[in-house]
Amino acid sequence: MDVMKELAFRLHHGDDLKVEIEKACSNIDTAVVLSAVGCVYEANFRLAKAVNTMHNKCDYEIVSLMGTVSKGNAHLHISLSDEHGKVIGGHLLEGCFIDTTCELVLGVLEEYSSDRPFDKQTGWDEIEFRRMK
């Protein structure tokens, strides 16, 4: 039976969410975000169509974070809610800073290897998973 290894840690005030996830996974081949609970005081993400970004200094709750990490290179999408419950989100960029805390749980896919080669069809580096066992 396949067993997933977990990596659980907490981020603190001022930590850059994307940078810290990539740092935690620098020696891990393939991982996925299982859970993220916390808040940020500054958000930075790319919007749909990959043209515009939103960089905003405002208090937000993290309502979801999902994505993959391949050899320390994270592809993450985030949803944030403001004090009125309005939700915004997109492709997480560096510069999204933790306010009081962020509790993270990542799943390490030990039976998979991955790379992000350029995909001519999409125009982006896209993940390729390879089962090793």
Which among 33, 35, 36, 17 has a CA at the least distance from the CA of 69?
A: 33
Indicate the domain borders of the chain.
5-131
Q: What is the mean pLDDT of the chain?
A: 94
Instruction: Give pLDDT, residue 64.
Output: 98
Q: Residue 49: left (phi > 0), alpha (psi -120 to 50), or beta?
A: left
**What is the assigned CATH class of domain 5-131?**
alpha beta
Q: For the segment 8-52, what is each residue's pLDDT rounded down to a tens digit?
A: 999 999 999 999 999 999 999 999 999 999 999 999 999 998 889
pLDDT at residue 94 is higher than 80: yes
The whole-model pTM stands at: 0.91
pLDDT at residue 119 is higher than 80: yes
- Banded pLDDT at 124 (limits 50, 70, 90): confident
